[in-house]
Structure 1
């Protein structure tokens, strides 16, 4: 295949092995990955917490240090995209469909099914539920994406390096090692983590769209319908990736942010408006005041609380780390011409605030129904809980149909962004990879998703994300050291 590197073929071979394993022996795959994941969560939970808070603090340091005015690119380079398009694309790639999926399910779970600290169903549990939802989807996640994206953008646009994870480590290990087997191993890990992560997301997305159609119109909630949804989405996201970032991906991201905001406003005013605003304000205060306490909470003397932390906080941190190669590379690709401070402020603060608003509106609307006994949202499946909430409010059918449309476009924008990044990683960092490579990765992702949905291997693939995140957390640390070494050296040379 034209310009495809060894990384492409190695990652493709590994992906096919996993597909065959999941198809032939899905229970064995789940068992193996579950056991390994459990061991990692128990033995390295402290490591995940310390790494993530260190990454966040490093981002804050860079924003307000003398390096904050450093431009990603040459002095005369201007941003390729407007701030609104830039934000829409980075947000769609970084959270996308997952945000719509969890905005009702997670607060309901924390408040009424398994509370992190207090008895389920109490006022305290409801407050904690929203606070921890803010925590899991807030600034920590975006700091991970931000630091990887910043480092990749710097090495690509300032140092002329290929847009590869391995290229950022050259100052530490030397060009020969990074162009050899060790560098290829790092890039293959990035490709594989992206493939598995997006495949799991495609599986969730097709399930939620199918569940929504079944909830609204009574269509069969079956594998065949999910397969049709997946096939239609595949055609659309491959077309979008084919069109390139400046056309398909940008336009879809802009359209979807407008629709998502429209949905948000409709539910804000159709739902318990004052309750939502009060809970948002109160929760934001609790989030800020308990920020470091939550960031380092591990509950070493309470097995039940530690189990909750493993299942939620550490799982999320590992999830964000494993997605960092994909999201970081995509954000880097669209951020040429911005300063370090502008980049980090834009990536960390605004997306976090949008996530908080989404969780406040959807989460509080769900909690309100359950709290007053109007509807038992906690009894709905994950993929139908949002539709169960919307059905209880005015314009419920319209909002549900709009939600399906928003999910579908988030579905497409996440997949087309991933397809574009996979093309870059497997063509030695080309900013505009060939269409044949992008099409191949689009088909591979959807094929894995279809196998996962049919054979029930979603949990096994999610566990692989956790497994891949452990070595990648170390890679991120090395990337940060390499980046700091370079910018300090560059600053000294200018004196």
Structure 2
């Protein structure tokens, strides 16, 4: 990573970088100052804005990801599926097993600890849309399939379109690693003007709020785990602010050091620990029951997929439920889209669109559904058969659910320590990666942002998480994510349309005039080489940031 502090002067588009950087920083500082100065007024205004947004545009959080999912599948199974994210002769830079492992590490994070137990067990006692009797076996299936809805194909369709768009734009067309250049088919020269800058600023704001939500959840989980292990009263806002401060120093220093290999090793360690914890709970818990529920819930999810994908709220109570669950989850994925997209693009050079879509949509959906079935299913089984009341406690505080489950299993102290370590590692690697991506976007796609820029984004990320946690806790974090994602979901729709327009002009799929070699093979250098921005095109993809 470059140590040059004068990144803007060295950038070929210094003016654009300065504008996006300073506009983003000023907007974020204004939001933080106002939220810290008048938290109650900000909370009331945010709640009103959220109600209006979800009532009028909430449908987009389900309909647009579903449409994108269909688009990705169509691209994969048609002639476009053989187009590579890179030149025609490029080869994947990572073995398939390593690629899948890194892909999973992109999003396997704090949310899986916070909601791995809490979401299914809360749904057990308050079934989604009132479809089943609370605490019944039907409620178990509904709890799991609606959790799959929030964490499965819809989420990865959002990540997939970002990764496909950015990978195609950078590796195959040689553009910078930004969202705005991909929109040229729709906004033409405005992609390099005010409209393009506005899109980049919106990407930064949305990504930042997604990151701060994860940091807030992580601080709450760490404090809950430490309280469980030590017995000290640590689940207070001051204690969580201290945790955020300490972790912010760690991930900012990590991002500034540029030790990508270290972060990669940490990510692999988290994967091993997560798998070990999953296997332990599966074996120590009601194993046969969990296996049966997995296939039953997956079957119900697949069989009723279209119905539950379009199950929009019909009453004010359903709207409130959607705000807390499905709408929030979809908004969270939208806010993480740019970060995950940049990451997926960097590790997927040389993959065909068919390979990319198949793995990105399929593998995480299967793995995440297993995770929620094992952890959430175990808690639901215990609540129904042993009267453990994990769901009741989770309804009051979602951070108690995961450790509440571990408390019912052998080796509680050891597994609780492992869970705390997992949260901290996810905390550091995720925030490190997001700091890097924010720095890249705010410096006009410079893939080697300077230390001062990284320091600014690390500090702002931690500060925003602390301010929002102080202003309103988890609800404030969720509201911020949904409000920032509401306009950005339509940018994603525009992104999908632009990708289709670009792919239709790809030489590999253009018809030939004489039945001879395709244009792609006749003119490989003009279109299929990265010749105008090697950094952005992934010429140095060596180490992923997560």
Give your verdict on TM over 0.5: yes
Say whether residues 1:185 and 2:189 are aligned partners.
no
Q: Is the 8 A contact 1:74 1:337 kept in 2?
A: yes
Alignment match, 2:178: 164
Alignment match, 1:251: 265
Alignment match, 2:153: 139
**Residue segments in structure 2 that go unaligned for 5+ positions in a row:** 9-16, 512-517, 520-546
Post-superposition offset of 1:474: 1.6
Post-superposition offset of 1:453: 2.5
Change over 3 Å in CA distance of 1:28–1:87 after alignment to 2: farther
Give 1:231-246 correspondences, 5 Å limit: 231-244=245-258, 246=260
**Residue segments in structure 1 that go unaligned for 5+ positions in a row:** none
3-state SS of paired residue (1:219): coil
Residue 216 of structure 2: which of 184, 203, 209 is its match? 203
- CA–CA distance in 1 between the matches of 2:101 and 2:435? 18
Q: Is the 8 A contact 1:215 1:384 kept in 2?
A: no
Give 1:85-484 correspondences, 5 Å limit: 85-116=98-129, 117-175=131-189, 177-221=190-234, 222-244=236-258, 246-300=260-314, 302-380=315-393, 381-456=397-472, 458-484=474-500
Change over 3 Å in CA distance of 1:261–1:467 after alignment to 2: same
Change over 3 Å in CA distance of 1:113–1:296 after alignment to 2: closer
Q: Is the 8 A contact 2:206 2:488 kept in 1?
A: no
Change over 3 Å in CA distance of 1:466–1:224 after alignment to 2: closer
Change over 3 Å in CA distance of 1:335–1:241 after alignment to 2: farther
Summarize deviations over 1:16-53 as a string: whole Å, max 9, x none.
11111111111111111111111111112333322111
**Which segment drifts farther, 61-70 or 468-477?**
468-477
- The size of the alignment, in residue pairs, is 493
TM-score (normalised: structure 2) = 0.86
**Which segment drifts farther, 100-109 or 345-354?**
345-354
Alignment match, 1:2: 6
Summarize deviations over 1:326-379 as a string: whole Å, max 9, x none.
221222222222211121122111111111111011001110111113411023
Summarize deviations over 1:296-332 as a string: whole Å, max 9, x none.
11253x5544443343223322222222122212222
Change over 3 Å in CA distance of 1:474–1:61 after alignment to 2: same
Q: Is the 8 A contact 2:92 2:351 kept in 1?
A: yes
- CA–CA distance in 2 between the matches of 1:239 and 1:337? 32
Q: Is the 8 A contact 1:22 1:451 kept in 2?
A: yes
Q: Is the 8 A contact 1:96 1:413 kept in 2?
A: no
- CA–CA distance in 1 between the matches of 2:128 and 2:65? 23
